């Protein structure tokens, strides 16, 4: 069965730069249908500050034909960077909106809809460069909203120069995530995400954009961000999610 994985990997600066500039060895990885390296960023920090960017870390998003291919890849990766301390989560998508050509053919497991327990929100986008400053203006409050929401257990944003952006967030429940998206409770959920969606509808920030909801299957390694640990597990048969 198909799955996606999201990785955060400790890496020296030169490896970060090399992976962002090129990922040719990934084309030879068996069962890898698409993979992208990204540079993680500190959520809510101004885009103009160098301290926003985590130059000692890589993000990696991957779409796999099956879990056995991911296991084989991690045992003998094409880049030494994957042998360094890292964290990753394995997941399957149950909903998707928008279009992002590299992932448009990834399978959606609709039978996983209406989940109990943790869910993940993942976005990938190609930004219109002419909309960069407008995107930053509307996006920063959303980052703060997600980062500080009590329903979030994991969250990060990442990009690849010059115009690829991604957000990743893991939630205790789908209800918590939807409350934030809709700004249901002003004192808890806030309104930046709702307002940003209205502004995106008025004039798109991106020329390619998708948002996906996913079920976490299992979590591996140590989460490198200062967030609490996931407290709830998937139902039997769906795999465990924990530290």
Q: What is the pLDDT of residue 234?
A: 34
pLDDT at 151 over 70: yes
> What tens digit of pLDDT does each residue of 58-73 get?
999 999 999 999 999 9
Query: How would residue 186 be classed by pLDDT, with cut points 50, 70 and 90?
Result: confident
Share above pLDDT 90 across residues of the chain, in percent, rounded to a whole number: 87
pLDDT at 235 over 80: no
> What tens digit of pLDDT does each residue of 205-215 get?
999 999 999 99
Query: How would residue 224 be classed by pLDDT, with cut points 50, 70 and 90?
Result: confident
Spell out the domains of the chain, with CATH numbers in brackets: 3-221 (3.30.70.100)
Helix H, strand E, coil C: the string for the chain is CCEEEEEEEECCHHHHHHHHHCCHHHHHCCCEEEEEEEEEECCCCCCCCHHHECCCEEEEEEEECCHHHHHHHHHCCCCHHHHCCEEEEEEEEEEEEEECHHHCCCCCCHHHCCCCCCEEEEEEEEECHHHHHHHHHHHHHHHHHHHCCCCEEEEEEEEECCCEEEEEEEECCHHHHHHHHHCCCCCCCCCHHHHHHHHHHHCCCEEEEEEEEEEEEEEEECCCCCCCCCCCCCCCCCCCCCC
Q: What is the pLDDT of residue 187?
A: 87
Query: How would residue 145 be classed by pLDDT, with cut points 50, 70 and 90?
Result: very high
Question: What is the average pLDDT across 40-64?
Answer: 94
Residue 226 burial (10 A CB sphere; 0-12, 13-18, 19+)? exposed
Q: What does pTM read for this prediction? A: 0.90
pLDDT at 221 over 60: yes
Q: What is the pLDDT of residue 226?
A: 57
Token pair, residue 185, equals 């409770």
Q: How far apart are CA 141 and CA 190, in angstroms?
A: 10
CA distances from 74 to 7, 36, 86, 92, 121 (A): 11, 16, 11, 19, 24
């Amino acid at each position: 069965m198909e799955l996606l994985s999201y990785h955060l990997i400790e890496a020296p600066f030169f490896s970060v730069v090399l992976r962002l500039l090129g990922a040719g060895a990934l084309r030879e990885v068996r069962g890898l249908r698409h993979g992208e390296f990204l540079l993680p960023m500190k959520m809510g920090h101004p885009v103009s500050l160098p301290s926003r960017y985590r130059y000692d870390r890589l993000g990696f998003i991957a779409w796999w034909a099956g879990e056995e291919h991911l296991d084989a890849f991690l045992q003998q990766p094409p880049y030494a960077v994957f042998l360094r301390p890292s964290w990753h989560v394995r997941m399957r998508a149950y909903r998707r909106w928008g279009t992002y050509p590299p992932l448009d053919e990834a399978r959606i497991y609709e039978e996983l809809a209406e989940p109990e327990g943790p869910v993940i929100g993942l976005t990938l986008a190609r930004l219109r460069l002419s909309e960069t400053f407008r995107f930053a203006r509307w996006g920063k409050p959303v980052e703060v909203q997600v980062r500080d929401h009590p329903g979030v257990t994991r969250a990060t944003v990442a990009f690849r120069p010059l115009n690829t952006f991604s957000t990743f967030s893991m939630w205790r429940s789908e209800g918590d995530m939807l409350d934030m998206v809709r700004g249901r409770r002003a004192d808890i959920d806030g309104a930046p995400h709702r307002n940003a969606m209205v502004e995106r509808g008025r004039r798109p920030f991106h020329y390619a954009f998708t948002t996906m909801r996913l079920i976490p299957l299992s979590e591996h390694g140590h989460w490198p961000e200062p967030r609490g640990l996931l407290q709830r597990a998937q139902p039997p048969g769906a795999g465990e999610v924990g530290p």
